[in-house]
Amino acid sequence: MCATKPEPRHEQRGDQEVPGPGWKAVLAPEEIRRALSRIAHEILERTHGGEGTVLLGIPTRGVPLAQRLAARIGEFEGTPAPHGSLDVTMHRDDLRLRPARALQRTEIPPDGIDGKTVVLVDDVLYSGRTIRAALEALGDLGRPRGVQLAVLVDRGHRELPIRADYVGKNLPTAQREVVRVLLEETDGTDRVLLGERVRPGPDSPGSPGSRLGDGARPDGGDR
Amino acid sequence: MKRHLISAADLSREEAVLVLDTAAELAGVSARPIRKLPTLRGRTVVNLFYEDSTRTRTSFEAAAKRLSADVINFSARGSSVAKGESLKDTALTLEAMGADAIVVRHGASGAPHRLAGWVTGSVINAGDGTHEHPTQALLDAFTIRQRLGSPDHGASGRRGAGLDGVRATIVGDVLHSRVARSGVLLLSTLGADVTLVAPPTLIPFGVGGWPCKISYDLDAELPKSDVVMMLRVQQERMTAAYFPTVREYRRRYGLDAGRMSLLPDHAIVMHPGPMNRGVEIAAEVADSPRSTIVEQVSNGVIVRMAVLYLMLGGVEGNS
């Protein structure tokens, strides 16, 4: 959770690879669907009907997840929740560890975020650094009444005092393992996979030297 | 991104599109309540200007400050340059102060190239003599993509798009113009068809090797243009009689309302500024809705933010 997910052309993530036999499916399409429905219900419960709630997805895969949650909320309550995207690249703390990255879309619903309850949506929660960057980016956009966090997978290994309010699945992992979220919108299929890094990867997400040049990042698309 | 930006030819199509896409995202920052990003905190950008400049220097300064970099402005006037200090010594002095990037404008073509060999930081060419001005070309390309981006025209304003099929006509003092040289190189890299229109005396030697066509007849080119870029007649660089009188130049190569009506309806009129109103461009054209002159200035800030971010935002010394 601590790196951006760069655009596909950056080719650092290996999303395009067909998951091989070493990958274990931890969430099937219908499990992802149920998890999102449950999170949508929880959001409605916690925000008392979703009034004044804005869902902001963190690119890349947080954005379609936020869209789906907003649509679910619309089905349940009749009025879809406003949703958008929040690019956190310019606020990352690891910018200087890698070549400059392409920026992703930031789209804030027309009513803005002032006085709203913002639910940040991302695919995997790992070190917590992306969320820290997202909180800073939000501060430049306005002053929400509150900020909550929804993730599809929480894989542990936090490096900052951050926790999720809504979790699709708690997935205990070892740091050498990689969690890969595939979504219909970005990858053509819904699936969450768990695998092991093929090459001897960085021992810990906090060791900057080992991150460079290593395609499999502890915190990027493969997490 | 490369370490230095000396020439528009340094940029591949992919890199140029990346700059435009990054700028498109940064454009949103100008509309926010807090127009500042923390990205270059702790980095120092030096503006080293040996020639007068309003928009380029202030635009680089604003861009660096919006990214939270520290900015040191250095103009040759009132500095040790007046006492005879060389470019190299000045540059080494500035580097000893911790400059991560030097934005340089110099009257001598090739000065930024020399500078890049002396310093360890990044060098960004902000105009060298009659050679190049790559960030101006980038902001022009960005403005064209933004304005002609509707689906009716060749170029798409969407992410990842170049300027394929856009017909750009660059008119005027090509000989002295670094904007023209960088513009030809960058626009053709992005897929545009570029035509230069100028009096034969103001066409540089060796232009046959440039990726563009040459014409001497403005009226014939205007109906086939999506973009007309008027260049300033650079009287301060003119050491010989390149045309008989200003009046004659205006009659043959100046853009007035009558000539503007020859353009297709969607076409835009650009000028890198500063303008000589009444010489290369009539006031009514400069102030018309087709003119992008003010947009070019505001786009200049966001395009330079994109360049600074891509050159300084990542690993130090990345390639």
Q: Does B25 touch chain A (CB under 8 A)?
A: yes
**Which residues constitute the domain of residue A151?**
29-171
Q: Residue B169's closest CA among B258, B297, B267?
A: B267
CA distances from A222 to A13, A156, A198 (A): 6, 14, 12
Residue A205 lies inside a defined structural domain of this protein: no
Cβ(A137)–Cβ(A120) below 8 Å = no
Residues of chain B with CATH 3.40.50.1370: 8-132+297-312, 134-292
B8-132+297-312: what CATH class? alpha beta
Mean pLDDT lowest for which of B115-124, B162-171, B240-249?
A: B240-249
User: What span, in angstroms and rounded, lies between the C-alpha atoms of B294 and A179?
Assistant: 49
In this predicted structure, what is the pLDDT of residue A180? 94
8 Å CB contact of A101 and B32:
no
List, for residues B67-87, the tens digit of each pLDDT value.
999 999 988 877 777 778 899
Q: Residue A218's closest CA among A121, A126, A122?
A: A126
Residue A187 lies inside a defined structural domain of this protein: no
Q: Does B215 touch chain A (CB under 8 A)?
A: no
> CA torsion angle for A203, A205, A206, A212 (degrees, to 10)?
80
The CATH number covering residue A62 comes to 3.40.50.2020
User: What span, in angstroms and rounded, lies between the C-alpha atoms of A209 and B152?
Assistant: 49
pLDDT-derived band at A15, boundaries 50, 70, 90: very low
In this predicted structure, what is the pLDDT of residue A217? 38
In this predicted structure, what is the pLDDT of residue B53? 87
Domain count, chain A: 1
* pTM greater than 0.80 (yes/no): yes
In this predicted structure, what is the pLDDT of residue A143? 94
Q: Which of A104, A140, A212 lies at the smallest CB-CB distance from B32?
A: A140
Cβ contacts of A141 on chain B, cutoff 8 Å: 32-34
* pLDDT over threshold 50, residue A6: no
Cβ contacts of A135 on chain B, cutoff 8 Å: none
Give the percent of chain A with pLDDT over 70.
79
What is the count of residue pairs from A and B with beta carbons less than 8 Å apart? 55
Side chain identity at residue B72, one-letter code: I
For residue B154, give the 3-state DSSP assignment: coil
For residue A50, give the 3-state DSSP assignment: coil
In this predicted structure, what is the pLDDT of residue A116? 96
Could you tell me which chain A residue has the CA closest to the CA of B315?
Answer: A96
Residue A192 lies inside a defined structural domain of this protein: no
Cβ contacts of A139 on chain B, cutoff 8 Å: 34
User: What span, in angstroms and rounded, lies between the C-alpha atoms of A69 and A71?
Assistant: 5
**ipTM score here?**
0.81
Cβ(B194)–Cβ(B234) below 8 Å = no
Average pLDDT taken over every residue of chain A: 83
Residue A120 lies inside a defined structural domain of this protein: yes
CATH superfamily of B134-292: Aspartate/ornithine carbamoyltransferase (3.40.50.1370)
Give the percent of chain B with pLDDT over 90.
77
Tell me the nearest-neighbour CA distance from A95 into chain B, angstroms.
Answer: 5
For range A153-168, the mean pLDDT: 96
8 Å CB contact of A96 and B315:
yes
Give the percent of chain B with pLDDT over 70.
96
Task: Give me the residue label for tokens 């040191």.
Answer: B72
Helix ranges restricted to H, chain B: 13-26, 55-66, 87-96, 111-116, 134-147, 178-189, 218-221, 246-253, 257-260, 283-286, 293-312
8 Å CB contact of B318 and A100:
yes
